[in-house]
Amino acid sequence: MPTLCVQCSKDRAVIVRPKNHQKLCKKCFITTFETEIHFTITSNNLFQRGERVAIGASGGKDSTVLASVLKTLNARYDYGVELLLLSVDEGIRGYRDDSLETVKRNAVQYEMPLTIVGYDELYGWTMDQVVEQVGKKGNCTYCGVFRRQALDRGAATLGVEHVVTGHNADDMAETVLMNLLRGDIARLSRTTSIITSTPSATAVANPNVLANIKRSKPLKYAYEKEIVLYAHHMSLDYFSTECIYSPEAFRGSARALIKNLERIRPSTILDIVRSGEDMARLCPGYEDNCRAGCNTAAQGEEEEAGCGSSVGRSAGGEMQKLEAILAQQHISEDGNSNGHSIEVEVKKVVTRVSKVKPSKKAPVQQTVGQCEKCGYMSSQRVCKACVLLEGLNKARPKTGIHIADGYI
102 neighbors 239 (Cβ within 8 angstroms): yes
User: CA of 284: how far to CAs of 180, 190, 210, 281, 343, in Å?
Assistant: 16, 11, 27, 8, 42
Residues 343 and 14: their CA atoms lie apart, in Å, by: 9
Taking CB positions, which residue lies at the least distance from ligand ATP? 308
Q: Edge-to-edge strands of the sheet including 114-118?
A: 114-118, 82-89, 52-56, 162-164, 214-216, 195-196
Q: Put residue 347 in one of left, alpha, beta given phi > 0 → left and psi -120 to 50 → alpha.
A: beta
Q: Give min distance, CB of 28 to ligand ATP, in A.
A: 24
62 belongs to an annotated ligand binding site: yes
In the list 102, 149, 165, 212, the residue contacting ligand ATP (rule: CB under 6 A) is: 165
Q: Give min distance, CB of 254 to ligand ATP, in A.
A: 13
User: Does 106 help bind ligand ATP (rule: CB under 6 A)?
Assistant: no
Contacts to ligand ATP from residues 28-67, by CB under 6 A:
56-58, 60-63
222 belongs to an annotated ligand binding site: no
Query: What DSSP letter does each residue of 174-188 carry, written as one string?
Result: HHHHHHHHHT-HHHH
In the list 118, 218, 308, 316, the residue contacting ligand ATP (rule: CB under 6 A) is: 308
- Calculate the dihedral angle through the C-alpha atoms of 223, 226, 232, 237, rounding to the nearest 10 degrees: -30
Q: Give min distance, CB of 191 to ligand ATP, in A.
A: 13
Closest residue by Cα to residue 167 from 204, 195, 198, 206: 195
Q: Which is nearer to ligand ATP, 32 or 240 (CB)?
A: 240
Q: Give min distance, CB of 403 to ligand ATP, in A.
A: 19
In the list 126, 149, 310, 329, the residue contacting ligand ATP (rule: CB under 6 A) is: 310
334 belongs to an annotated ligand binding site: no
Q: Which is nearer to ligand ATP, 11 or 262 (CB)?
A: 262
Closest residue by Cα to residue 187 from 361, 383, 377, 380: 361
Residues 285 and 146: their CA atoms lie apart, in Å, by: 28
166 belongs to an annotated ligand binding site: yes
78 belongs to an annotated ligand binding site: no
Q: Give min distance, CB of 353 to ligand ATP, in A.
A: 21
Stretch that binds ligand ATP, among 245-253, 258-266, 306-314, 384-392 (CB under 6 A): 306-314
Residue 315 main-chain phi, psi, to 5 deg: -55, -40
252 belongs to an annotated ligand binding site: no
User: Does 88 help bind ligand ATP (rule: CB under 6 A)?
Assistant: yes
Residues 186 and 383: their CA atoms lie apart, in Å, by: 19
* Number of residues this chain uses to bind ligand ATP (CB under 6 A): 18
164 belongs to an annotated ligand binding site: no
85 neighbors 112 (Cβ within 8 angstroms): yes
Extract the annotated binding site.
Answer: 56-58, 62, 88, 166, 171
What is the binding site for ligand ATP (CB under 6 A)? Answer: 56-58, 60-63, 87-88, 90, 147, 165-167, 171, 308-310
